[in-house]
Amino acid sequence: MEFGLQYRRPDALEKKEANCWHSFEMAPLNEVRRVQEEKLVEQMAYLKENSDFYRDILADAGVGFDDIRTLEDLQKLPYTFKTDIRKSLAASKPFGRHLAANPRDIVQMQASSGTTGSPSYIALTEPDLEMWHEMTARCFFANGIRPSDMVLHGFSLAKGFVGGIPVMQALQYMGAIDVPIGADGGADRLLRACIDTRPRCIVGAPNFILHLGEKAEEILGVKASELGVERIIVGGEPGGGIPAIRNRIEKLWGAKCCEMLGGTDLGVAYWAECDHQSGMHMVNMDHIITELLDPDTGNIIPFEEGAQGEMVYTALGRQASPMLRFRSGDFIEVLGTICSCGRTGPKIRCIGRTDDMLIVRGANVFPSAIHSIVNDLLPETNGVMRVVADFEGHTTQVALKIIVERGPTRNPDGDTALKSQIETRLRDALVFKANVTIVAADTFEKPGAAKVTLTLREFPDLP
C-alpha cells in the first residue's frame, strides 16, 4: 500500500457493490501464511533497528530478532502483557519506552479506557493511522456499511477513545458519512439526529443502542423501527453476540445487528461479523497475526471449531506503538472456519475478558454469560443485572451475589419464584451457585457514553 493520508480512499465509492472491502479477506490460507511471514520478518527487522523496549525483552529471553521467521517461531518469544505496557508508559511519558518511531513522525494519539488506572496513550504515525482506517473499513464493510451511507455515531466521542475520532475517520475513509453526535450527546439529541438525517446505519455499544431503541417512541413519538435504519453495528462491550440482546435490538429497530471486536492497542476493530451473523471473522490477517492460547495448558492451539482460549496478537507493519505477542485478555470460542461469504478468517464470539472471569467454588464464570441467561428470561426480567464480587481477588467459595431487575410490568409478589428460577438456570447452565436479589426495573442507571460495567466490587445501597 502506498501511504498518503486522506479523508477518503480514492477508490472507496467503487467498492459499493463489492463482496468485501479488500480481496485479502478471501485469500487462501497458504497465501495468508506467506504474507504474514514475509511481513513478520520485516517487522522484526524494524524492531531490531528502532525498539529499545523489544531489544531488552528479546535479550532477556535469549532470542535474536533474526530467529523469528515463521509463525511457529513466534512461540520462542515471551508474551507482552498489559502490565509491561503500563510500566513502559510510566518509564517514559507519554508514549512509553515501546515507542519505536521518531516523535516528529507522530500525527495522532489515542487513549485506552484506563479502567485500571491512567489511560494508555497510543501513538500513530501517518502509515499507522492509514492502516487503522483500512482495518476498520474492512470490519464496517463486512458488518454491512457501504460507501455513501449515512451512519449515526452512537459511541462516545470524548476522552480519546477509539470509538470516537478513529471511527469517524474510518467511516470517512470508506466513503460513508458520519453523523457525529456521539453517546455523549445523550439519547434525546441522538434520536433527533436520527429522525432528521435518516441514517441507514448506526454504530454504538449494544446496551446503549438498546436503550436508544426503547426511548425512541417517548422522545420522537415514533417507534425506532419506523426511522428507516437498516444496519446496527455494535461493539465495545459484551452483548452483540448474546442472542437475546441481539434479537431485542433487531426487533426494536427493525434492522440487522452485526458485531465487531477490536482494542486500542492494535486498532479500532479487526474482527467483524458478515451478513450470515455466524461469528466475527478476522478480516485483517495481513496486518495482525493472531494466536489462540489455551489458558489451562499454556499451549498455542489451532483455530478449530469449538476451540476456546485467549487471543494473542502480533502487529505487522506497525511503527509507533508496536506489539509482539500481546496478551489481549479476550477469551473467545471459535464458531467456524469456513463461511459462504467467502472470507477465510476464522469466526469467533467473545465469551468475556480473562480479567473479568470469576472462579466460584472452582467453576469459571464470566459475567457476560450470566447476562445472557438473565436476558433469556424476558419479560420476567428486563435483562439488566450486576454481579457483586465483594471478595478479595477473583475467587470465592460462597454463592455468587447477583442483582437482577425484574421486568417493568411484573408484580413484586413473584420475586421469590423469579429468584429461584434464575438461580436454577445459572446452576444448570454455568455450574455454580448464585444468591440472587430481585430489584425494581430502572434500579441501575441507564446506559450512556461509558461502557456498562457488569461487575461491582461492593453491594450497592438499594432503594
Please report, in angstroms and rounded to a whole number, the separation of the first and last CA atoms in the chain. Answer: 58
Within a 10 A sphere around the Cβ of 334, how many other Cβ atoms?
A: 20
Q: In the prediction, which pLDDT does 354 show?
A: 82
Yes or no: say if 167 and 155 are a contact pair by the CB < 8 Å rule.
yes
Q: How far apart are CA 165 and CA 152, in angstroms?
A: 13
Query: Nearest-5° angle of CA 267, CA 269, CA 271?
Result: 130
List of residues 6+ apart from 259 with CB closer than 8 A: 143, 206, 233, 234, 235, 240, 241, 246, 272, 273, 280
> Which residues are 151's β-sheet partners?
178, 201
Distances (CA, A) of 71 to 30, 39, 75, 291: 12, 11, 8, 9
- Amino acid present at 89: L
Residue 267 has a CB neighbour count (10 Å cut-off) of 28
Domains and CATH numbers, the chain: 10-353 (3.40.50.12780), 358-456 (3.30.300.30)
What does the pLDDT read at residue 5? 52
The whole-angstrom separation of Cα 354 and Cα 292 is 13
Q: How far is CA 143 from CA 196, 240, 247, 271, 349, in A?
A: 24, 12, 16, 10, 15
Pairing of strands 434-439, 400-406: parallel
Question: Global pTM?
Answer: 0.88
Per-residue pLDDT, 108: 95
How far apart (Å, rounded) are the C-alpha atoms in residues 453 and 97? 31
Residue at grid coordinates 479477506: 25
pLDDT at position 2 is 53
DSSP 3-state of 444: coil
State which amino acid sits at residue 111: A
Could you count the other beta carbons within 10 Å of the beta carbon of residue 427? 14
DSSP SS3 for 289: strand
pLDDT at 429: 85
Query: Residues 6 or more apart from 385 whose CB is under 8 A from it?
Result: 370, 371, 374, 402, 403, 404, 405, 454
**pLDDT score for 449:** 58
Q: How far is it, in rounded angstroms, from Cα 260 to Cα 240?
A: 8
Rounded distance between C-alpha atoms, residue 447 and residue 115, angstroms:
17
- Indicate the residue type of 241: G
Return per-residue pLDDT of the chain as tens, 463 residues.
Answer: 455 556 899 999 999 999 999 999 999 999 999 999 999 999 999 999 999 999 999 999 999 999 999 999 999 999 999 999 999 999 999 999 999 999 999 999 998 765 445 778 999 999 999 999 999 999 999 999 999 999 999 999 987 889 999 999 999 999 999 999 999 899 999 999 999 999 999 999 998 999 999 999 999 999 999 999 999 999 988 788 888 899 999 999 999 999 999 988 999 999 999 999 999 999 999 999 999 999 889 999 999 999 999 999 999 999 999 999 999 999 999 999 999 999 999 999 998 888 888 888 777 888 888 988 898 899 999 999 999 999 888 888 889 999 999 999 999 999 999 999 999 999 888 888 999 999 999 899 887 756 778 888 888 888 7
For cell 498489559, the residue is 82
Where do the H-state alpha helices sit in 92-228?
126-143, 165-173, 186-197, 206-220
Rounded Cα distance, 328 and 312, in Å: 6
Sheet containing strand 400-406, strands side by side: 434-439, 400-406, 381-388, 455-456
Indicate the DSSP class of residue 421: H
